[in-house]
């Protein structure tokens, strides 16, 4: 009787096929992750205190790219693929947005939308006026700056015309940016400000002064949605001993 059973594959061939399967699986997983990062959500770490008290240094946030559609700013490295926004939608007053500043699109910043296209925005003695009407403010009380505990600041509640309420920091009268000219927001641009009003380079300051100036809509990356978790200042992925230096009370906070 003739034995017709095929010889089994060599151990080396089996190992090679297994390695190829692992490489394919990893490549598919990375591809899916990249698509989700470009199209749906992207994580960012807050590097500065300009959005205190809502966001503090070390917050790890998730940004929705579905909110405003997609532009070249949605892609890593800001490639010159096309102009404008695909399926673009307008940001709303009070939205906290991540964007690429016009003076250096390689960076990503975060601020709050105050003025929409066509708005007239002015700051007088630290109070924001939109189209001649002051945004309502309520003094909450003095507190210590989260990132600079030796700095006393006044917590001020502020409400936009569409009812968005949030808390800002005021470092006192006579600060740079407390009094501005009237800024007329052109079509396709926004006026943005940091909530830590006296520690924010934003639309009150021109790019030549280190600020944002008026923000083109195509520079928007997305809308900040939630603080996923948060590390204390000084923690770093390069310092394993700091990995558990977490700000536990800031986990899973909705960004308002």
pLDDT at 1 > cutoff 50 = no
d(CA 56, CA 182): 30
Global confidence as pTM: 0.86
Q: What pLDDT digit, counting tens, does each position of 9-23 carry?
A: 577 777 788 888 888
- Is 199 a domain residue? yes
d(CA 102, CA 242): 34
Average pLDDT over residues 164-189: 96
Of 88, 87, 108, the residue nearest 98 (C-alpha): 108
Q: What is the CATH number of the domain that holds 240?
A: 2.10.109.10
Listed as own residue / partner, the contacts of 172-177 with beta carbons closer than 8 Å and 24 or more positions apart are 172/198, 173/125, 173/126, 175/126, 176/205, 177/123, 177/202, 177/204, 177/205
Higher pLDDT, 190 or 80: 190
Higher pLDDT, 227 or 41: 227
Q: Provide the residue range defining the domain that includes 243.
A: 12-254
Q: What pLDDT digit, counting tens, does each position of 103-132 carry?
A: 999 999 999 999 999 999 999 999 999 999
Structure tokens at 47: 């590097």
Structure tokens at 74: 């949605």
- Is 141 a domain residue? yes
Q: 22: part of which helix (H) or strand (E)? A: helix 11-39
Q: Point out the residues that are catalytic.
A: 50, 111
The number of domains in the chain is 1
Which pLDDT band holds residue 7 (cuts at 50, 70, 90)?
A: low
């Amino acid at each position: 009787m003739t034995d017709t059973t095929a010889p089994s594959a060599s151990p080396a061939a089996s190992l090679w096929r297994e390695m190829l399967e692992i490489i394919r699986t990893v490549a598919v997983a990375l591809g899916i992750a990249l698509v989700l990062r470009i199209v749906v959500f992207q994580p960012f770490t807050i590097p500065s205190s300009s959005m205190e008290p809502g966001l503090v240094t070390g917050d790890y946030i998730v940004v929705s790219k579905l909110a405003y559609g997609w532009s070249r700013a949605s892609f890593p490295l800001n490639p010159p693929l096309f102009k404008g926004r695909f399926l673009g939608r307008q940001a709303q007053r009070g939205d906290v947005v991540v964007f690429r500043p016009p003076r250096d699109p390689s960076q990503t910043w975060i601020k709050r939308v105050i003025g929409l296209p066509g708005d007239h925005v002015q700051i007088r003695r630290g109070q924001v006026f939109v189209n001649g009407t002051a945004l309502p403010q309520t003094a909450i009380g003095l507190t210590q700056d989260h990132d600079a505990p030796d700095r006393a600041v006044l917590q001020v509640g502020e409400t936009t015309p569409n009812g968005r309420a949030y808390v800002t920091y005021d470092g006192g009268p006579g600060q740079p940016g407390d009094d501005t000219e009237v800024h007329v927001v052109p079509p396709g641009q926004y006026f943005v400000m940091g909530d830590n009003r006296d520690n924010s380079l934003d639309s009150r300051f021109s790019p030549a002064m280190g600020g944002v100036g008026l923000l083109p809509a195509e520079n928007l990356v997305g809308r900040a949605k939630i603080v996923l978790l948060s590390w204390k200042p000084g923690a770093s992925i390069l310092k394993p001993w700091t990995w558990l230096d977490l700000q536990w009370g800031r986990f899973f906070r909705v960004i308002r």
